[in-house]
Amino acid sequence: RPSVIHIIPRLGGAKAGEAASTVQVGEGFVFHIANSYQEQEGETTRIIIDAVRSSGSSGWPRNKYGKVGFNYRKDNPLGGNAPSKNLRRYALQTTAATNAFLALESDTENERDIKFPGVNATYFGRQHRYVYACGFGLSSTIECVVKYDMELGTETKWSFPTNNFVAEPVFSPASGGSGAEDDGYVICLVYNGKTRNSELYILDAQNIEEGPVCRIVLRYHVPFSLHCQWVDTFWGPVEADAQEDEPSEPGQVQDAAPESASV
């Protein structure tokens, strides 16, 4: 059965006060939206939505009895039971003559399973070119960070070493940079399953495939989280007698990146 996208006019916008409209699209469940924006060309209006679409009518897989739920010890993640989670671009269009949105046939979908898509936060609600996300590997765990070029339809990635578990990647703009959309860094909080410590990986957003430019090994593990956001101000407590210590292991800042694993 088809899924439905609801379009609600913004308060204070040109169509404020008008009734909401709906558009039917292919079956799928959306947990995470990377970004959306509106294009205007004469009397034609387009809404572009980049989102992670899970196959089926639910974001959760179903067990062999048809009920929502998934047991990784009993169910094979690679056997077709787990739903696919792909980056899809939805394109909706309307004209002054029709005054109704229709889904264009040109919506595209990438094959790689991903989670936690995001963009440079200064492009929220504006036309963007790049999307960053966590990518799944053959073991059905998040194993790499992926950068999508939505203009060229290409992807680049860097794979983390084995037994590393990745949280949502966050884009941080470069201080004093050129202002280009991808001029900055992609930051990932990673749990190292071998050392049982968390690590902070910092990658050059323009050269994701080259791996991290810096890796910071923490002295402890950070409880695994779902979502992250970059802020340029530290909001935590400041100790009056805090002193800078020489980095030690763990807790060491490392410039060299560990060897990448393949996905």
Q: Annotated binding site for Fe cation, which residues?
A: 32, 227
Tokens 């400041």 identify what position?
238
- Classify residue 156 by its DSSP letter: E
Give the integer Cα–Cα distance in Å for 57 and 98: 30
Task: Specify the DSSP element, H or E, that contains 179.
Answer: none
Answer for the pair 157, 144: CB distance below 8 angstroms, yes or no: yes
Burial class of residue 31, CB neighbours in 10 A (0-12, 13-18, 19+): middle
Number of Cβ within 10 Å of residue 68's Cβ equals: 11
Output the known binding site: 32, 227
